[in-house]
Amino acid sequence: MNRVQKIALFFVVTISVAFLLSCIAIAILYVKVGMPKALAGLGFMGIAGLGGFSPLIFQTEKGKVTLDERDRLINRRAALAGFGTSYLLVGLACMIPFFILGPKASISVSWLPYIFGAVGLNLFFVHSVAILIQYGRGDKNGEK
């Protein structure tokens, strides 16, 4: 497993753990105190921020080739997948309320930071998963 894979795996784990804990916290708080106070459970999403430290945790080995043309191609494809799904998510966040509430309804602007955060996390998550999938497919026939 190379450095890029380790960073991607770290992002997937931190975002997944953060999302899972947030869902559990919101569910528990919803039963105890109801909405909108239950949204305080989203505080667990802060765990996802740990992913930002991954380049510091997994440092490059000096004097060794760690990134080449294939890695750059994989990263480009993964970024495309991440931005593509993020665009889809923004589209859904805009169109679903429109079709459910109707053209004359209005929604609170407090939803905008949530949409922004969700799209950002989705971008990193899909990017990382796409990296792991692409490496996973081609990492066979190796010699020790």
32 vs 137 by CB, closer to another protein: 137
CB distance 14 to 1 below 8 Å: no
CB of 124 to another protein, least distance (A): 23
Residues 75-134 close enough to bind another protein by CB under 8 A: none
CA dist 92 and 127 (Å) reads 19
Q: How many residues does the chain have?
A: 144
Quick one: which of 15, 71, 128, 132 contacts another protein (CB under 8 A)? 71
69 vs 100 by CB, closer to another protein: 69
Taking CA 39 as the corner, what is the angle to CA 33 and CA 43, rounded to the nearest 5 degrees?
Answer: 120
Quick one: which of 32, 56, 102, 143 contacts another protein (CB under 8 A)? 143
Q: Which stretch binds another protein (CB under 8 A): 11-19, 59-67, 98-106, 117-125?
A: 59-67
Residue in the structure block whose two tokens are 């450095």: 3
120-129 as b/e, with b when 16 or more CB fall inside 10 Å? ebbbbbbbbb
CB of 7 to another protein, least distance (A): 15
Residues lying near another protein in the complex (CB under 8 A): 2, 65-71, 135, 137-143
